[in-house]
Homo-oligomer: A and B are copies of this chain.
Amino acid sequence: MAVTDTVDTTSARQRILDTTAALVLEHGVAGVAQRQIAERVGIKAASLYHHFASKNEIVEAVFRRGIDVMEHAWDDAATAATGAAPRARLAAHVRAHLSALFENGPYTAAHVTAFRTAPTEVREAVVPMRDAYEARWTHLLTELDGIERPGLSRLALLGAMNSSVEWFDVDRGNLDELAEVITTQVWGSTT
């Protein structure tokens, strides 16, 4: 249904972003070369400039997408858990965040692990989006009113969730179980 882009443009752009996200997740921003991205996509490095103006622009697009995925997951959880009990609402959002990290491509995972290593210009461009997402969590934890120090708890909670990309294996572990463990850490057992 794209009006301005042909089918091919869209998919090439997509493949570049997919590939970059996966590589950045593994090696950090500085550890990934454009020639490496291009080779995996099946084009030459110079051809990347047909789709993006610079390496930084590719990386920034990857991070933005990563945040986008998180926010969509949040919105879905918010809709699904409307009117539910506080703990269930929290659990739904925890599960949604984990879903963003593991079930929608490497974008969110790349964002949370590699953002700190990105060049200053990229970080500064992305930081407002990051902050907005974190604000959603602060707001939720405060609103639920079952948590003593929402500020500190939010940071420890996001830390526990985000660091799971370092060790959790989607094929062997159970995301629902992980979500339950993390929810319990913040809220306590099923209340």
Chain A residues with CB under 8 Å of chain B are: 26-31, 113-114, 116-117, 148-149, 152-153, 155-164, 166-168, 177-178, 181-182, 185-186, 188
Docked complex Cα distance between A163 and B160 (Å):
7
Q: Return the contact of A116 from the options B160, B166, B178 (Cβ within 8 A).
A: B166
A43: min CB distance to chain B, Å = 23
Main secondary structure of the interface of A (DSSP, over half): helix
A179: min CB distance to chain B, Å = 11
A93: min CB distance to chain B, Å = 16
CB closest chain-B residue, reference A156: B160
- Identify 20 residue pairs between A and B in the complex whose beta-carbon atoms are under 8 Å apart, listed by A's number: A27-B117, A28-B114, A28-B116, A28-B117, A30-B30, A30-B31, A31-B117, A148-B181, A152-B177, A153-B181, A155-B164, A155-B167, A156-B181, A156-B182, A156-B185, A157-B160, A158-B163, A159-B166, A160-B163, A162-B163
**Could you say which residues of chain B place their CB within 8 Å of the CB of A113?**
116
Docked complex Cα distance between A164 and B154 (Å):
11
**Could you say which residues of chain B place their CB within 8 Å of the CB of A116?**
26, 28, 113, 166
Docked complex Cα distance between A55 and B26 (Å):
20
A86: min CB distance to chain B, Å = 17
A104: min CB distance to chain B, Å = 20
Docked complex Cα distance between A153 and B164 (Å):
11
B160 touches A178 (CB 8 A): no
